Amino acid sequence: MTLMTFVYLAAGLVLLVGGAEILVRGASKLAALFGISPLVIGLTVVAFGTSAPETAVSVQSALSGKGDLAIGNVVGSNIANVLLILGLTALIAPLIVSRQLIRLDVPLLIAAGILTWVLAANGTLSRLDGAILFAGIIAYTVYMVKSSMRESREERVQQSVESPVEATPARSNAWVLNLVMVLAGLALLVGGSHFLVEGATTLARALGLSDLVIGLTVVAVGTSLPELATSVLAAVRGERDIAVGNVVGSGLFNLLCVLGLASLVSPQSIVVSPNALAFDFPVMIAVSIACLPIFFTGYRIDRWEGLLFFAYYIAYTAYLVLYSTGQDSATLLGDAVLFYALPLTTVTLAVLGIRSWKAQRA
């Protein structure tokens, strides 16, 4: 561990913040120019772009025969997306949740997590498994873009009937400028993530952590920092559909595209750790399911819910580190979360969900 480790960390953070700002600006303007809603931009363009680091890390790990790192990166990133990123973003500014996320995208995220878990249940992810996952992301993207453009056309027709005012033509080169901003932002995000992961991995290895734990924690957080930076800045700038859509879309992209591509290019089937199957996959799915009652309670994520997400992420990461280093306190922490914190949270969310449902019916 040298001075360059800390230089990588600092450079990565600077590039991530700058890249996120440029990406959000370009993506939100592209949405308006092409008649695609900000939510769909967040679920597709921004989410896929900010998941580029996960793609690079997992594909490279699969090619190098480091399956634990590839699996840990994707599963850990999805857990971090919900608990860490949504948690911190909601702490900064309460987030408004689109009904579409609750009716379509979050259920799809849950289904994708269960599908991946089932495919990996035999201990491997084969090329056929990868093809199934990758076909899913293609179908989802095509559906989302077509659906959004159809709705946009219907809205424009309705507006022209209600208020027939001549539209002001957009500059012909405006889309080119905004596309360049999106691509530049993505390039900065990928470069920043590379520097950050390099430095963070060096630190983690110095602490004696395994490849799976490094993937689930250090690499997962490092490659999720583009999503974090993008969602936080989108929330601050008032683009809250992008902030939430980015997290959900990135989770879908990680499972279907990143793991799909990694399985397709791997020289041999990716071996999935029994620990990941028994603990980390269930946690990832449970976290996705937990979004539903929190999201439809008033269709917003309040600060206290963001704090709850963030606290659970701290507990999850602490458990992984303690368990990996053989600390006895890992069992105590795990029991406290499993037998006290989770039941209390479940009851609280159930009560809030029932109240919200009754209020909507009334």
165 located within any domain: no
d(CA 123, CA 117): 10
6 located within any domain: no
181 located within any domain: yes
Question: Where on the phi/psi map is residue 238: left (φ > 0), alpha (ψ -120 to 50), or beta?
Answer: left
341 located within any domain: yes
Q: What is the pLDDT of residue 34?
A: 73
**Is the Cβ–Cβ distance between 106 and 291 less than 8 Å?**
yes
**Is the Cβ–Cβ distance between 263 and 270 less than 8 Å?**
yes
Work out the angle at residue 187's Cα, subtended by the Cα atoms of residues 35 and 259, and round it to the nearest 5 degrees.
Answer: 85
* Domain at 69, CATH number: 1.20.1420.30
d(CA 62, CA 287): 26
Domain containing 355: what range?
12-150+175-361
167 located within any domain: no
Helix (H) or strand (E) holding 52: helix 52-63
Q: What is the pLDDT of residue 162?
A: 53
Cα distance between the two ends of the chain:
61
Of residues 61, 75, 45, the one with CA closest to residue 197: 61
Q: What is the pLDDT of residue 128?
A: 94
Work out the angle at residue 89's Cα, subtended by the Cα atoms of residues 182 and 32, and round it to the nearest 5 degrees.
Answer: 35
Number of other residues whose CB lies within 10 A of the CB of residue 176: 10
Segments in the chain below pLDDT 50: 165-169
Query: Is the entire prediction scored with pTM above 0.85?
Result: no
The structural domain count of the chain equals 1
Beta partners for 95?
301
Q: What share of the chain is helix, strand, coil (3-state, %, to 5)?
A: 85, 0, 15
Question: Where on the phi/psi map is residue 241: left (φ > 0), alpha (ψ -120 to 50), or beta?
Answer: alpha
Render 205-235 in DSSP notation, one character per residue: HHTT--HHHHIIIIIHHHHHHHHHHHHHHHH
159 located within any domain: no
Q: What is the pLDDT of residue 155?
A: 57
d(CA 300, CA 102): 11
Q: Within 13 Å, how many C-alpha atoms sit on residue 306's CB side?
A: 18
24 located within any domain: yes
268 located within any domain: yes
Q: What is the pLDDT of residue 168?
A: 45
Q: What is the pLDDT of residue 172?
A: 60
**Is the Cβ–Cβ distance between 310 and 84 less than 8 Å?**
yes
Helix (H) or strand (E) holding 104: none
